[in-house]
Amino acid sequence: MNTNVETFKYDNRIVRAFAIATIVWGIVGMSVGLLAAVQLFFPDANLNFQFITFGRIRPLHTNAVIFAFVGNGMFTGIYYSLQRLCKARMFSDALSWLNFWGWQAIIVSAAITLPLGFTTSKEYAELEWPIDIAIAIIWVIFTVNLIGTILKRREKHMYVAIWFYIATALTVAVLHIVNSMEIPWSWMKSYSMYAGVQDALVQWWYGHNAVAFFLTTPYLGLMYYFLPKAADRPIFSYRLSIIHFWALIFIYIWAGPHHLLYTALPDWAQSLGMVFSLMLIAPSWGGMLNGLLTLRGAWDKVRQDPVLKFMVVAVTAYGMATLEGPTLAIKNVNALSHYTDWTIAHVHTGGLGWNGFLTFGMLYWLFPRLYQTKLWSTKMANYHFWIGLLGMMFYIIPIYVAGVTEGLMWKQFNKDGFLQYPNFLETIVQVVPMFRLRAIGGSLYILGYVLMIVNLYKTAKAGQFQKDVEAQAVPFNKKSEESGSHLWHRWLEARPLTFTALSVVAILVGGLVEIIPMYLVKENVPTISSVKPYTPLELLGRDIYIREGCLACHSQMIRPFRSETERYGEYSKAGEFVYDHPFLWGSERKGPDLAREGGKYPDAWHYNHLDDPRSTSPGSIMPRYSWLLTQKLDTTSLPARIKALRKVGVPYPAGFENGPAQKDLQAQADKVVANLKTGSINADSDREIVAVIAYLQRLGTDIKSAPATQTQTTNAK
């Protein structure tokens, strides 16, 4: 039996690199989040500096904490545990380091481009096309490294964590590619291939599964490795872990439409999403219970060991978030919760609790082992735990209160049947104190994080890093099992880079196969005759609206409730969005819905409001956009934009971009300037503000101009 024992080395350097990256990007992402939170009660915290204004740093925060902090955390845990579970070094050191540096380069490019306003506007997929391609390539490299390691493993049985890693790698690749289908019109900008309701459906299929397969499955894998390790006892039920894994991955991918309940998405798709979301409770709680029950009879350990404390809270937060998620996916609950801060509270239960605390627990466990020493200060780790937990409470509870308050106030009618709070601003002013408390919570969470950085740094200083850890194992007899595929494996193991290149080619070919039918699809023809493509000026205004991230606070989707139609006008129809590449429905209302903004206020009001929102709306928390008044409108790229849109099915006439478009643009800009003059404002027609006003005045007006018979309201509620 012991005759062919093989000696090999685990690669700890790559683990350490990812761990350091996790720690660094974590503090960056959380600090940006805090800055965004402060701007919600103190708008001038952006220093009137466009690059750090809420609309631009909100995607920076979400991308940084999801893909930089949790992403690196995931790689840290996978690179550590996979080698040990497989009893093998990673497939290829070169791929490991390509994975590492490629991922960091992507993060840096995100940190530069998002503040500059290069965004696709699709949530958690904001990065523009060149970075999207880089992500696909780096992800393939990671997947090859993962699969390669599994193939050359010396342990026959694949521990359940490995299955979670495989599901993560494969599914994220598919999600990313399908949702990132876009037509570039410049080296950094593109339009989504899909329009309106289709784009919304694809986006939230992606968005939901990004949570499922980026924030959940890899971290469940980590839980199944690090929780038993830290507790030094086996998982409660290995059988349950296998069942809940397979159930989870088969159900998760269908739940996306719950992000679009009561929108213009077809009803049957909404119901499908809701049913699958409810079914998800079972496998999710399977995971939570398995984690918690592992500690049965060992609660004395939990009391003493900060690592286990972090993990217990993480698993509990996972359980709460996965009960709450399906609850929010019930249509009746969603009617109240959607667009409110309830959603923000929900994701932060998962983010701060599940992902954050599990990462902390893992790092506290990992560092002493990487550096062959004891944790520098258990007491300090305990302080981190309690301060972090307090921070979470101060974040989540006020934001729940804010969310429910918003939802109730928006829907409140008075005795005479009018809206109790017809002015949206009243409802947001009401919850501003909650935003202040939230910022305190966030600060506490970061304070705890800083304690962790000090503690881990001191631990590293005190210990000695061992970059290669020697281990021995007996390879299992592959020959008898694999026979035919054996040679192929041998070949593969020898050529990691060749195999990676081939995989990239395969993914790209697959991508092309998916793109080509898109060109053949003709369904994007308008279904409402009065709905027309945007004029050139409106198009440029819309692109500025995207650049500034206006959709972070303003939805463009009126749901069919009386409370919404009273406030905003006729509810939104799927046919209104056929030229929206990308869709801009939004997911949050920190300001009123803008789907029917067109014609509600004069041009001059918008001018003043964008220059200084508090001049027209005292108490408003909207940032000033004074740079729109001075920056010149970029008209040189207009032909490229029109051509790109025509490619995805917007029927601009042939040759429109060579002359007629520019004339049209100038004429409309002059009209806006003339309108502004009647409001005694002198503006130049070549400024960005003119385009933004033109766009805002267009919103939702296509339906208004349609014959009255078509806009009969048949509201359900």
Closest contact distance (angstroms) between CB of 234 and other proteins is: 4
Closest contact distance (angstroms) between CB of 255 and other proteins is: 11
Tell me the backbone φ, ψ of residue 692, rounded to 5 degrees.
-65, -45
Question: Of 57-65, 236-244, 430-438, 449-457, which segment contacts other proteins by CB under 8 A?
Answer: 236-244
**Between residues 197 and 261, which has the closer beta carbon with respect to other proteins?**
197
User: Which residue of 372, 423, 485, 710 would you call a contact of other proteins, by CB under 8 A?
Assistant: 710
* 683 token code pair: 């503006």
Site string for other proteins, 343-372 (x = CB under 8 A): --------------------------x---
379: Cβ contacts below 8 Å, ≥ 6 apart: none
Kindly compute the dihedral angle of the four CA atoms of residues 21, 27, 28, 32, in this order, to the nearest 10 degrees: 150
User: Which residue of 199, 538, 597, 688 would you call a contact of other proteins, by CB under 8 A?
Assistant: 199
Question: Of 112-120, 122-130, 227-235, 444-452, which segment contacts other proteins by CB under 8 A?
Answer: 227-235
Give strand pairing partners of 468. 11
Radius of gyration of the chain (CA): 27
Task: Determine if the peptide bond prior to 496 is cis (ω within 30°).
Answer: no
Q: Is 249 in the site for other proteins (CB under 8 A)?
A: yes
Alpha carbon distance 18, 316 (integer Å): 26
Q: Is 242 in the site for other proteins (CB under 8 A)?
A: yes
Count of all residues that appear for the chain in the document: 717
DSSP 3-state of 84: helix
Q: Is 3 in the site for other proteins (CB under 8 A)?
A: no
Q: Is 232 in the site for other proteins (CB under 8 A)?
A: yes
Closest contact distance (angstroms) between CB of 573 and other proteins is: 4
Kindly compute the dihedral angle of the four CA atoms of residues 166, 172, 175, 178, in this order, to the nearest 10 degrees: -100
CB 39 within 8 A of CB 54: yes
Q: Is 106 in the site for other proteins (CB under 8 A)?
A: no
Restricting to residues 471-510, which ones interact with other proteins according to CB under 8 A? 471-472, 481
Q: Is 620 in the site for other proteins (CB under 8 A)?
A: no
Closest contact distance (angstroms) between CB of 38 and other proteins is: 38
Alpha carbon distance 537, 694 (integer Å): 7
> Which whole-number Å values give the CA distances from 149 to 146, 153, 154, in the listed order?
5, 6, 10
Alpha carbon distance 587, 371 (integer Å): 44
Closest contact distance (angstroms) between CB of 238 and other proteins is: 4
Site string for other proteins, 120-159 (x = CB under 8 A): -----------------------------------x-xxx
Closest contact distance (angstroms) between CB of 7 and other proteins is: 10
Question: Of 239-247, 374-382, 388-396, 536-544, which segment contacts other proteins by CB under 8 A?
Answer: 239-247
Question: Of 60-68, 296-304, 376-384, 517-525, which segment contacts other proteins by CB under 8 A?
Answer: 517-525
| Pairing mode, strands 182-184 and 468-473 | unpaired
Question: Of 232-240, 301-309, 356-364, 592-600, which segment contacts other proteins by CB under 8 A?
Answer: 232-240
Q: Is 84 in the site for other proteins (CB under 8 A)?
A: yes
177: Cβ contacts below 8 Å, ≥ 6 apart: 136, 507, 510, 511, 514
Q: How many chain residues touch other proteins (CB under 8 A)?
A: 62
Question: Of 136-144, 246-254, 317-325, 340-348, which segment contacts other proteins by CB under 8 A?
Answer: 246-254
DSSP 3-state of 509: helix
Closest contact distance (angstroms) between CB of 196 and other proteins is: 7
Alpha carbon distance 531, 702 (integer Å): 5
Alpha carbon distance 219, 214 (integer Å): 8
User: Which residue of 9, 239, 490, 495 would you call a contact of other proteins, by CB under 8 A?
Assistant: 239
Site string for other proteins, 641-680 (x = CB under 8 A): ----------------------------------------
**Between residues 84 and 643, which has the closer beta carbon with respect to other proteins?**
84
* 161 token code pair: 């964590």
Q: Is 707 in the site for other proteins (CB under 8 A)?
A: yes
**Between residues 517 and 618, which has the closer beta carbon with respect to other proteins?**
517
Q: At what angle do helices 238-252 and 160-179 cross, to 10 degrees?
A: 10
Alpha carbon distance 637, 657 (integer Å): 10
Question: Of 21-29, 133-141, 167-175, 609-617, which segment contacts other proteins by CB under 8 A?
Answer: 167-175
Closest to 345 measured CA to CA, from 320, 381, 365, 377:
320
Restricting to residues 263-282, which ones interact with other proteins according to CB under 8 A? 264, 266, 269
Kindly compute the dihedral angle of the four CA atoms of residues 242, 247, 250, 254, in this order, to the nearest 10 degrees: -150
In the DSSP assignment, the letter for residue 711 is: G
User: Which residue of 145, 524, 535, 563 would you call a contact of other proteins, by CB under 8 A?
Assistant: 524
138: Cβ contacts below 8 Å, ≥ 6 apart: 98, 99, 102, 103, 106
Question: Of 231-239, 332-340, 596-604, 673-681, which segment contacts other proteins by CB under 8 A?
Answer: 231-239
User: Which residue of 228, 361, 391, 463 would you call a contact of other proteins, by CB under 8 A?
Assistant: 228
Question: Of 401-409, 520-528, 667-675, 680-688, which segment contacts other proteins by CB under 8 A?
Answer: 520-528
Alpha carbon distance 422, 410 (integer Å): 8
Question: Of 188-196, 418-426, 430-438, 654-662, which segment contacts other proteins by CB under 8 A?
Answer: 188-196
* Element at 183 (helix H, strand E): strand 182-184
Q: At what angle do helices 603-611 and 688-698 cross, to 10 degrees?
A: 120
Alpha carbon distance 410, 402 (integer Å): 12
Restricting to residues 554-583, which ones interact with other proteins according to CB under 8 A? 573-575, 578
Alpha carbon distance 248, 252 (integer Å): 6
Closest to 313 measured CA to CA, from 392, 212, 240:
392
Closest contact distance (angstroms) between CB of 197 and other proteins is: 5
Closest contact distance (angstroms) between CB of 501 and other proteins is: 22
One-letter amino acid for residue 584 of the chain: L
Other C-beta atoms lying within 10 Å of the C-beta of residue 464: 9
Residues found near other proteins in the complex (CB under 8 A): 84-85, 87, 155, 157-160, 166-167, 170-171, 174, 178, 194-199, 201-202, 205, 225, 228-229, 232-235, 238-239, 241-242, 246, 249-250, 253-254, 256, 264, 266, 269, 369, 470-472, 481, 514, 521, 523-524, 527-529, 573-575, 578, 707, 709-710
